[in-house]
Structure 1
Amino acid sequence: MNPSSNPARVALIGYGYASRTFHAPLIQAVPGLSLALVASSKAEQVRAELPGVAIEADPMQAVVARGVDLVVIATPNDTHFLLAMAALRAGKHVVVDKPMTPSLAEARELHATAQARGRLLSVFHNRRWDSDFLSVRQALRDGLIGDARHFESRIERFRPQVRDRWRERPGPATGLWWDLGPHLVDQALALFGWPDTVQANLALQRSGATTEDWAHVVLGFGPTRVILHVGMLAAIPGARFVVHGTRGSIVKARPDRQEQQLLEGLRPGDPQWGTDADPLQWQSDDGPAQTRPALPGDQSQFYVELAAAIAGNGPNPVPPDEAIRVMAIMQAAVDSASDGRTVSPTCPV
């Protein structure tokens, strides 16, 4: 089957920031996919921005719509499970935005249902295709600094005002750790595997905050420590990645720019798409400081690989068991912070 001649028809559920910024433009950039339907109460906005795409106000009707092959769920986290389960039971392939579900039990149930129905279930861990992560991963694979012993990964922003949106209100899987933490956990597991220990501290730092807006999580891998940090009061943010190893150090100062490029109207395939002018800095064996050009990023590769998998021409880009591992570490961090102890997590799959 040629996916570009028989593209999978996609229903996008929700039309908030994630759908408008990431999902819709990335889906439309992939020949093997066709954005056919959007579930949203913002019909006029969808019609203006996605002419020719059908609109359904009821998300539950959209996930079971006839003629749809793939359902992409980009709604508040507490709705992921019910919508994804309905789509799987209707025979659809499903992509769920991260985090997969608010609970590990729900994530396992979705996985079991997808297996029983013979449907593809994937989770949108798009930051696997970021320029900063790809550059650091390649440097580690090349052995530039020997064995990594101290690894810092941080996403920091300066947003001192609390906004009235679901991510910043109390509820299942809300707050900054559940918003940005899955990106950092997924990348850490991709690099280092399953940790021996999880130690976490979560806090509400901004005036008026009702959910955690600061998180500091340390994963232990034998002698290696992986520090994951997110915060909303960093007018001068720290480096995106800092890695110290047995032979030297790596610094990737600035983050991937694809989100900003998408906001500016750039799309996959455009000349500057995914480019990163901020080089990797590294020094090893007491030699001089050096730089290495950053590798380009391309988050549309998630959907390229997904379309191939649906057509039977490749593996699932983010299999459910990998997303379930992320969920388990997310919950272990919450348990650690709540109990004030170091957790030794059990691998769930």
Structure 2
Amino acid sequence: MTGTEGEPRAIRTAVVGYGLAGSVFHAPLLAANSSYSLDVIATSDAGRQGAASSRLPRAEVVRDGAAVLERSADLDLVVLATPPMAHYPLAKAALEAGLDVVVDKPFAVTSAQGQELVALARQLGRVLTVFQNRRWDGDFLTLRKLLAAQALGRVTRFESRFERWSPAIGKAWKARATAADGGGALFDLGSHLVDQALQLFGPATVLHAELKARRSDERADDDVFLALRHQSGVTSHLAMNMLCAQQGPRFRVLGSIGGYTKNGVDPQEPYIVAGGSPLDRDYGVEAPEWAGLLGRDGHLDKLPTERGNYPEFYRILAAKIRDGGTASALPLPVNPEDAVDVLKIIEDARTLAQT
């Protein structure tokens, strides 16, 4: 993939969907990385069309994914930032059109759909990955560093939460979506929490699952608790709640020689929402007062949080695509088979909660 005078050509990219995922995560990260050219943005919402044209004047704004696929000969990569029910059909069509594909989480609404997409990408020799950006949260990077150094000893319990106070459902598609459509907190927040738990502690089974709809207009679930048992021996307790007026710790991890507790949420998303850029010096840097606590030998020490790094996803992806795509030995930023494993846990949790 080269341009004039042997220089690497920018990866010609389209983003389908310009809600929170498209406008706050994907478009800013792509625009900040010179390996990509953001050529097309698809959204049917007039207000979002205007916002996209204003912020990214070089990008052509079209109505929907079908209009993007009509331009597939002039593109290399499509990023799907649509509601979950559209992920599978759009990803399938984009792969068949000869494009590499990034799918926002959740990968699909069933593990069978995810497995089909993985097989299709392999058959067609296309790059397929899933945007599990929370692998690059600063607090998660801090925890991974602690575990790599065995600072907590043998971990026995992992507690992880995403809790928010959101009494009203802010997006029209979320208000309409059932679990079959990919709606609810388990698909939305749970895709992150389950992925992080599996990345840290390996394969797991669902021991217990509670799924409730607390808000009157919620059609799926907004208050969820899962207990997982990992083959490594760790027990994970994962909580996600959209009607939580007082949040618990983001992480609480207990080991044989120490523990780690972290409050607060990674600052990268609110930084972009406030108008910042991934290129800013302060991007991803957490305020010192949000430092976690490392407990060992009967005392607590503040542990500064690693800098968050969502841009790393697209850096790894660009290296993979430019090095030959599926023929390259370089890793994907996220193996889509990992996302299928997450969907299987979600499915098992729903089955267990129902029975």
TM bucket (normalised to shorter chain) is over 0.9
1:80 and 2:81 correspond: no
Percent identical among aligned pairs is: 38
Deviations 1:192-226 (A, max 9, x none): 11014442110011233222111000101254210
| 3-state secondary structure, aligned to 2:189 | helix
Q: Residue 238 of structure 1: which of 245, 248, 251 is its match?
A: 248
Alignment partners' CA distance in 2, 1:283 and 1:127: 24
Structure 1 position 167, deviation (Å): 2.1
Q: Residue 228 of structure 1: which of 221, 233, 238 is its match?
A: 238
Contact 2:206–2:348 (CA under 8 A) maintained in structure 1 = no
The Cα RMSD (Å) is 1.6
Alignment partners' CA distance in 1, 2:97 and 2:169: 39
Structure 1 position 293, deviation (Å): 1.2
Q: Residue 56 of structure 2: which of 45, 50, 75 is its match?
A: 50
Alignment partners' CA distance in 2, 1:187 and 1:303: 19
Contact 1:214–1:231 (CA under 8 A) maintained in structure 2 = yes
Alignment partners' CA distance in 1, 2:207 and 2:39: 42
Contact 2:16–2:64 (CA under 8 A) maintained in structure 1 = no
1:311 and 2:322 correspond: yes
Structure 1 position 173, deviation (Å): 1.2
Matches within 5 A, 1:90-105: 90-105=97-112
Alignment partners' CA distance in 2, 1:181 and 1:338: 17
Q: Residue 14 of structure 2: which of 7, 11, 14 is its match?
A: 11
Contact 2:206–2:226 (CA under 8 A) maintained in structure 1 = no
Contact 1:87–1:94 (CA under 8 A) maintained in structure 2 = yes
Contact 2:12–2:39 (CA under 8 A) maintained in structure 1 = yes
Aligned to 1:347: none
Aligned to 2:42: 39
1:20 and 2:29 correspond: no
Residue identity in the other structure for 2:225: H
1:214 and 2:223 correspond: yes
Aligned to 1:148: 155
Structure 1 position 315, deviation (Å): 1.6
Alignment partners' CA distance in 2, 1:168 and 1:225: 33
| 3-state secondary structure, aligned to 1:152 | strand
Structure 1 position 235, deviation (Å): 2.1
Residue identity in the other structure for 1:9: R
Deviations 1:285-313 (A, max 9, x none): 33x21122111011011011111111017
Alignment partners' CA distance in 2, 1:231 and 1:197: 19
Contact 2:206–2:345 (CA under 8 A) maintained in structure 1 = no
Deviations 1:143-189 (A, max 9, x none): 22211111110011111123352123233110111111101111111
Matches within 5 A, 1:280-319: 280-286=292-298, 288-312=299-323, 314-319=330-335
Deviations 1:299-336 (A, max 9, x none): 01101111111101732111111111111111111111
Alignment partners' CA distance in 2, 1:306 and 1:83: 20
| 3-state secondary structure, aligned to 2:240 | strand
Greater share of helix: 2
Deviations 1:209-268 (A, max 9, x none): 222111000101254210110102222211100011111211011121000001011112
Alignment partners' CA distance in 2, 1:103 and 1:157: 26
Residue identity in the other structure for 2:302: T
Structure 1 position 130, deviation (Å): 0.3
When normalised by structure 2's length, the TM-score is 0.91
Alignment partners' CA distance in 1, 2:128 and 2:305: 31
Structure 1 range deviating more: 87-96 or 262-271: 262-271
Structure 1 position 111, deviation (Å): 0.7
Contact 1:149–1:245 (CA under 8 A) maintained in structure 2 = yes
Aligned to 1:182: 191
1:273 and 2:283 correspond: yes
1:159 and 2:166 correspond: yes
Equivalent residue pairs, number: 338
Q: Which runs of 5+ in 1 are unaligned?
A: 340-349
Structure 1 range deviating more: 218-227 or 297-306: 218-227
Alignment partners' CA distance in 1, 2:206 and 2:85: 27
Alignment partners' CA distance in 2, 1:135 and 1:117: 37
Aligned to 1:254: 264
Q: Which runs of 5+ in 2 are unaligned?
A: none
Structure 1 range deviating more: 159-168 or 141-150: 159-168
Contact 1:84–1:94 (CA under 8 A) maintained in structure 2 = yes
Alignment partners' CA distance in 2, 1:87 and 1:208: 34
Q: Note closer, same or farther for the CA distance 1:25–1:164 as it changes in structure 2 (3 Å cut).
A: closer
Structure 1 range deviating more: 321-330 or 183-192: 321-330
| 3-state secondary structure, aligned to 2:75 | coil
Alignment partners' CA distance in 2, 1:63 and 1:16: 20
Alignment partners' CA distance in 2, 1:193 and 1:333: 17
Alignment partners' CA distance in 1, 2:106 and 2:207: 18
Aligned to 1:342: none
